[in-house]
Structure 1
Amino acid sequence: MASKTVAKDIITLRGSASIVSEFFVVGIFFFFFFSILYNRGVYPEESFAKVKKYGLPMLLTQDEGVKSFIANLTAQLTEWLESGKLQRVVLVIMSKATGEVLERWNFSIETDSEVVEKGVSREKSDKEIMREIQAIMRQIASSITYLPCLDDSCVFDVLAYTDTDIAVPFTWIESDPKLIANPQMVKLHSFDTKIHKVDTLVSYKNDEWDEE
């Protein structure tokens, strides 16, 4: 009788943390650098390299200072994810001239506490996880169709919300939440590794509210 071998996709805490931290870095910086820095000419075209990630074409920065920042950010987020201490990551886009917050990308994280405490694993297909991430990435890429134009030169900041019992590295500083008054909000897709679930929400300044 012929036999059939079935391979299971086992997701460990470390593997899930790696997937989620890579999503933050690729998702956040793909949107920021492609939609803002590249399209608005803040960095020259040669500062970007064309890559393919999650089956989608992307432009990633080649600026050494930014690459170093991204590498350090990835390492820290991965550490917090593996310990189950990371609650949220927020990308804030602000006017360079005034410091006014124009957009706020919120990535909320739910962590399976049993996996962290007991070291158990979960099962989920890599393909299924990638499909969910691709759906979010497409939404981020297409968001330029509904987000207001950013006429000013912009800067960004990354906020991390963690449990209160962790030691904060000296490279991170306390910050206010950098909220937007009367924002317009759009909820994007979520993805779930069965260990970490990530929900995405973008808030942006709504000039129509200011005029009322």
Structure 2
Amino acid sequence: MSLQPDDEPLEDQLSVPLSQASQLLTSFTQFLTICIHNILYYRSIYPAETFLTSRAYNLPVHQSRHPKVCSWIRDAVDAVKAQLVLGVVERIAVVIYDGQARVMERWMFDVAHFPAWKGFKDVRSVRTDEEDELDEEIIGNIETNMEGKVNWTDVDEQLRATIRKLAYAAEKLKSLPNSCTFTIAVELRDEGEAPIGHPQPWIPTQSNLQTKSKDREKAGQDVGGAKTTPLRAVEAGPLFFECWVEEGDAKEQRSSNTSSE
């Protein structure tokens, strides 16, 4: 998507300095990757011995040692990042299913209030044969005026606290059945276009997980879950998002059946 400086002042299009936007987005996607690996570990999606323990944000974290799992997560997060850049994502979900494809849990990351990413990737490419139309001095002035808007120490502390809370919550939840699987999903804004094309990393979700929209009067039956546990709201400069975990109806029914036997 190209930047159109004639339609809107460049200063209004950028919510963070160009020099910091890419770093902020990379920080979030690294955080998301760590969260996914930790969810898989604490929810026993794979055996504990297939994970190694390392450190991130000065915390012990867990990472799958299986090359195919690591590759799949890396590709999935890259696909999420591509949609974040376009500004079309409202929520990101790590969805856990049982062996019958019933939703057990949804680990949610609400990024609806993220700063505008659109433009930081494209600004430099706009300057082709008509370089003078986008004056480097304008960009320099924006970065100078907004310097220090991102407090990186605060960002790291907020992400560190969220990972700790996620690990604590994951350990306290009721156990999942054997043979559970997972996937990564994104919920798009109403104005967002579905990511179609070739290659096609995304497929539409089942109707039970589709959110309410202008074309859909009611959300799917598994959206929201039977029980919701808030994790943390992250607010560090321009970076704001919320996290929570939803436990599905099928998981609650399974717990009830198990306790009554």
- Report if TM-score (shorter chain) is over 0.5: yes
SS in 2 for 1:31: helix
1:124 aligned counterpart, secondary structure: coil
Q: Does 1:28 align with 2:36?
A: yes
CA drift of 1:81 comes to 2.1
The structure having more radius of gyration, on CA atoms, is 2
* Cα offset, 1:116, TM superposition: 3.5
Q: Is residue 161 from structure 1 mapped to residue 187 from structure 2 by the alignment?
A: yes
SS at match of 1:12: helix
Which of 59, 63, 80 pairs up with 1:56? 59
Structure 1's unaligned 5+ residue stretches are 1-9
Distance 2:194 2:167 in 1: 34
1:100-123 CA-to-partner distances (Å, cap 9, x unmatched) read 11111111102223x646876661
Amino acid at match of 1:24: L
Structure 2 residue 70 is matched with structure 1 residue 67: yes
After superposition, the Cα gap between the structure-2 partners of 1:209 and 1:59, relative to the gap in structure 1 and judged at 3 Å, is: closer
Structure 2 counterpart of 1:106: 108
Identity %, equivalent residues: 17
Does 2:201 match 1:171? yes
Distance in 1 (CA, whole Å) between partners of 2:195 and 2:175 is 39
Q: CA deviation at 1:140?
A: 1.1
Kindly indicate which of the two structures has a greater share of residues assigned to strand: 1
Instruction: Supply the distance in 2 between the matched residues of 1:144 and 1:202 (Cα, whole angstroms).
Output: 9
Offset from partner CA, 1:29-76 (integer Å, 9 cap, x none):
212134413xxxx4361x322210111112211111111112212222
- What secondary structure, in the 3-state scheme, does the structure 2 residue paired with 1:49 have? strand
The gaps in structure 2 that reach 5 residues or longer are: 1-16, 124-141, 211-221
Q: Residue 188 in 1 paired to residue 234 in 2?
A: no
Residue 93 of structure 2: aligned partner = 90
| Counterparts in 2 of 1:69 and 1:77: CA distance versus 1, 3 Å | same
Amino acid at match of 1:174: P
Matches of 2:174 and 2:66, distance apart in 1: 27
Q: 1:195 to 1:83 in 2, by over 3 A?
A: farther
Report what 1:206 is aligned to: 252
